[in-house]
Structure 1
């Protein structure tokens, strides 16, 4: 089937965070949503649900739970149970709820930097102690970021209770190796940590040689201390429909999560439920076409970055996000601000991820828009 990833869609006609944060002459390549239309099957499902005309309090259909079970087994060889699934309005609320449910006030919530900014505010949001450690930078320019297990263990304090983990990783695009994940699991067991694994980008693998392995599948010894967060939102570009799933195998952990959510977490958007079911049952061909488009876009980004003195990037193995190191460039002091003011391209500021001197670039957009943005950056950055 042929899918349209080329049409530019005017997103300013509706209020949208990505396109209305900056002036109209700015090309926004920052917040992590794509500028492609959602899959036709998703749009058809939404049209059918809207035609019904009633939008009262909904429930999670068994067909959706079974669809996620089937998706997990088919794509990741991980057998999950419908009873493990707690559908929630989003991954970020789930991160905060997990920290609240599985730690006490003053206890530590640990995460690695650089990291998607909402991770860094979880501890303060729920009255816990924020704890961080640094990922290991690439050994060579453009190489992969790595999990430094010694740094992780050194950061674990007597009061550390929850580890927030991102797999595949946002912003570096890293798909963690089995050795890294198994090492993390050993430390979690040794130090009695609850692990919250955000696997939001798992269906966006760009490097076929680096397949995603769910932490729960690779490390079954974590079953009584693991919360896995999944959602179709990034892959199928339906983030605004607010539907995600916390997968919790352990009965006690699941009960505690439900208690924490009671009265604080609303039910999942009824349109989000319909869109999620369509995504997991009828959109695999679209997803594969999307991955081809993203790989071509990534190649374009890499070609342009190679022309920019002092700028490097590690090739992302997953996601539609590129993590650019400007620390050795002429714009090292504040690259995001320079690029915004002088090139009129909006990227995400690395300081918000805990690493100043970097920017994150979203290449999930029609190629003509991406090329226009990269040419603007060329004029500022090239020799």
Structure 2
């Protein structure tokens, strides 16, 4: 299977957002969070079979898909959910926006730790809310929530906290104790929580396990909108399928009400791929995780040998949050693009001292990216 992940698949000329950004330039695209791996064979086969049917009309949720999600939540997290808690969406970002609209009123404040995935900062503003970001705290080699700073930032207008676990871009997997403390804060201040858990199937560090915060108990569950999707895990983001889990009937109604007439249904190929991925893709993902661990370990070793750069251990995701502050670059994104490596600029996540590199690619590509970074910085930094 490892050879499958080593395969170089040419994505040029396929309208790939990732690859078109640097079309006709010798820049390796290692920015947006999709991998360069082909989807699991079971997913591709299911799509072929559905396409051969030849009719692509309006589509309901496939009959067994909700039960598949229920069984998955029970098996992986000992979390019993009901079918009517599930709301299917054509993408996770729209779920963040819907959450901001569903909770509170215009002018209220949405709280979020940072650095964070950019839609966490844009969704509140697009929803007529104010956004307040609170920096994460580094504890040894692990990013953690600064609960004291979060609590100090809560005002009478704060209604919602946006949360990301595993964390994008830092790659942290939050521990049970951290989640319990966050839940206590939410309940103490009568807040709601939207938890983006899209990277939950991409835990790289042995011994760590994803814990949905809503699974901790009935009180926090009633105040939580959980967002999940197969898109990152199985590289099917272009098929647009994700889901929210909302147990509280009133919160669920508010979420559905702001969705009506604006957010379209999931398309049938998205449902088809999701069902196949969750039913038959676990072994494929185990192989992918082994490969990604190898990439992570290689990258961690190499980056930390380059003067001016630092990379903390990546516990989850295929995203490396690289501290470039030691290189003292005036425009890090431009510098690395000139070096032939296109990463996501840290300023988009709230911290210009970092760059985010996507290592979900064949090892050969990653090695070439590291080589280019080394050459560029060896020419930039004094001997």
TM-score by length of 1: 0.96
Per-residue CA deviation, residues 335-372 of structure 1 (Å, 9 max, x unaligned), is 2211111x110000000000111000000001111111
Where does residue 131 of structure 2 map in the other structure? Answer: 130
Q: Distance in 2 between matches of 1:55 and 1:262?
A: 22
Match of 2:155 in 1: 157
In structure 2, the CA distance between the partners of 1:219 and 1:133, relative to structure 1 (3 Å rule), is farther
Match of 2:283 in 1: 285
1:296 aligns with 2:294: yes
After superposition, the C-alpha distances for 1:192-212 in whole angstroms (9 at most, x for unaligned) are 111000000000000121111
Q: Determine the structure 2 residue equivalent to 1:346.
A: 342
Instruction: Give 1:326 shift.
Output: 1.0
Partner of 2:331: 334
Runs (5+) with no aligned partner, structure 2: none
Deviations 1:99-123 (A, max 9, x none): 1011200001111100001111011
Contact 2:124 2:131 in 1 (8 A): yes
Question: For the Cα contact (< 8 Å) 1:304–1:378, is it kept in 2?
Answer: no
Displacement of 1:280 in angstroms is: 0.5
User: Separation in 2 of the partners of 1:261 and 1:37?
Assistant: 32
Q: Which residue among 217, 220, 226 is the counterpart of 2:218?
A: 220
- The partner residue of 1:174 within 158, 172, 175 is 172
1:369 aligns with 2:365: yes
Aligned mates of 1:192, 1:77 — CA distance in 2: 26
> Does the Cα contact within 8 Å between 1:86 and 1:247 map onto a contact in 2?
yes
C-alpha distance in 2 between matches for 1:135 and 1:303: 24
Quick one: distance in 2 between partners of 1:364 and 1:132? 28
Instruction: Show the counterpart of 2:182.
Output: 184
Aligned mates of 1:283, 1:51 — CA distance in 2: 22
What SS does the aligned partner of 1:13 have?
Answer: coil
Residues 3 and 289 in structure 1, CA contact (< 8 A), matched pair in contact too: no
Tell whether the 8 Å contact from 2:300 to 2:312 is kept in structure 1 after alignment: no
> Does the alignment pair 1:357 with 2:357?
no
Q: Give the paired residue count.
A: 378
Distance 1:2 1:172, change over 3 A: closer
| Counterparts in 2 of 1:2 and 1:129: CA distance versus 1, 3 Å | closer
Q: Give the C-alpha shift of residue 3 in structure 1.
A: 6.4
For 2:63 and 2:135, the matched residues in 1 are separated by 41
Look up the match of 1:316.
Answer: 314
Question: How far apart, in 2, do the equivalents of 1:225 and 1:4 lie?
Answer: 42
* CA deviation profile, 1:221-268 (whole Å, cap 9, x unmatched): 212211100100000000000000100111111111111100011000
Q: Secondary structure of 1:112's match?
A: strand
Counting only pairs closer than 5 Å after superposition, residues 1-383 of structure 1 correspond to structure 2 as 4-23=4-23, 24-139=25-140, 143-331=141-329, 333-341=330-338, 343-382=339-378
CA contact (8 A) 2:114 2:133 kept: yes
Name structure 1 gaps, 5 residues minimum: none
Q: What is the DSSP-based 3-state SS (H/G/I as helix, E as strand, rest coil) of the residue aligned with 1:131?
A: strand
The Cα shift of 1:304 comes to: 1.3
Q: Distance in 2 between matches of 1:178 and 1:74?
A: 18
Query: For the Cα contact (< 8 Å) 1:149–1:180, is it kept in 2?
Result: no
Return the alpha-carbon distance in structure 2 between the equivalents of residues 189 and 322 of structure 1.
33
TM-score, normalising length: structure 2: 0.96
CA distance in 1, matches of 2:30, 2:75: 33
For 1:2 and 1:160, the matched residues in 2 are separated by: 48
